[in-house]
Amino acid sequence: MAPVGYITLNDNLIIKEANLAASRLLGSEKGQFINKGISSFISDDQHESLYLHYRRLSSARENPTHIFTIKRRDGSEVEIQFESNLGHDGRANGFRSVLIDVTELRKAKEGLQHANDQLEEKVLQRTKDLSESEAGYRSLFENSLDAVILTKPDGSILSANPAACRMFIMTEAELIEAVGLAWWSRTKDRDAVRRKGRGPEAPSSSLLQTGDGTTFVGEEVPIYSPILIVRRKQVCSSGTSLAEEGRGRTSAQQS
């Protein structure tokens, strides 16, 4: 624990008595500050606060506490907490003050406050970045010309963009309720794709149903879980996709 200094002042704030710890805190030999005003050790901009500190003590009989910056003879400065009361058993003819060095404590508090401020600034910046990122994603989601559907791991729909609603002729709420549609499970398609070794993220085709009961062949393109893009697949009159028919013609020409 840091040494505690004790000083006794008269009504004019002249130092009359002091212990050895007080002389170390004030940065001066004991004989050099006895009968010297305490204000000579206090930072110039705190003289008024020093006067009010002791004036409150005289008028309200309080025991005020205040931190003052002490200017030492070697040029260094320390933060000293003054805890003062009336001297001579409470009669208003002098003061006694306890001096406690709180320099390190104050530095620690300032360091902690600085760290808290930096942390708060980082949190605010991160929140701003996330908000901007979310706004960018939302804009891309809402304005995409592709039908984009956000799903759960079980395949149920969490959200659908306007293009998906137009494709399926349903509102977003109706699409979310459409979890029981047979086309949504795509179990057979996924198994077939995996058997071909193309992996679970390869596009698959399904017969999809719109809100008015019509069907169309759609290609489901997983971007990354849980985002899925659905596109209409052009189908020729024979019922095969144009891509499949094109591959058939190429094979026939080669043979």
Give the pLDDT confidence of 48-97 residue by residue, as tens digits: 999 998 888 776 666 678 999 988 888 888 899 999 988 765 455 789 99
Q: Are residues 93 and 164 in the same domain?
A: no
Q: Note whether residue 205 is domain-resident.
A: yes
Q: Note whether residue 21 is domain-resident.
A: yes
Give the residue among 62, 51, 55 at the shortest CA–CA distance from 90.
62
SS3 content of the chain, % helix, strand, coil (to 5): 45, 25, 25
Give the model confidence (pLDDT) of 179-230 as tens digits: 544 444 443 444 443 344 344 455 677 777 788 888 878 777 776 666 777 8
Q: Note whether residue 114 is domain-resident.
A: no
Residue 225: CATH number of its domain: 3.30.450.20
Q: How far is CA 167 from CA 142, 159, 208, 230, 252, in A?
A: 14, 14, 10, 9, 35
Q: Note whether residue 86 is domain-resident.
A: yes
pTM higher than 0.75 for the full model?
A: no
Question: Do residues 5 and 22 make contact, with C-beta atoms less than 8 angstroms apart?
Answer: yes
- In sequence order, which residues have a C-beta less than 8 Å from that of residue 25 and are 6 or more positions away? 3, 5, 70, 78, 80, 99, 101
Listed residues 50, 83, 101: the one ending a domain: 101
Q: Are residues 220 and 162 in the same domain?
A: yes
* Token pair for 81: 């907490």
Q: Which domain holds residue 194?
A: 144-254
* Token pair for 227: 């985002």
Listed residues 71, 101, 131: the one ending a domain: 101
Q: Which helix (H) or strand (E) holds 125?
A: helix 103-143
Q: Note whether residue 109 is domain-resident.
A: no
Q: Are residues 166 and 232 in the same domain?
A: yes
Q: Are residues 246 and 157 in the same domain?
A: yes
Q: Note whether residue 128 is domain-resident.
A: no
Q: What is the C-alpha separation between 191 and 173, in angstroms, rounded?
A: 29
Give me the number of domains the chain comprises. 2
Q: Note whether residue 97 is domain-resident.
A: yes
* Token pair for 171: 């509102």
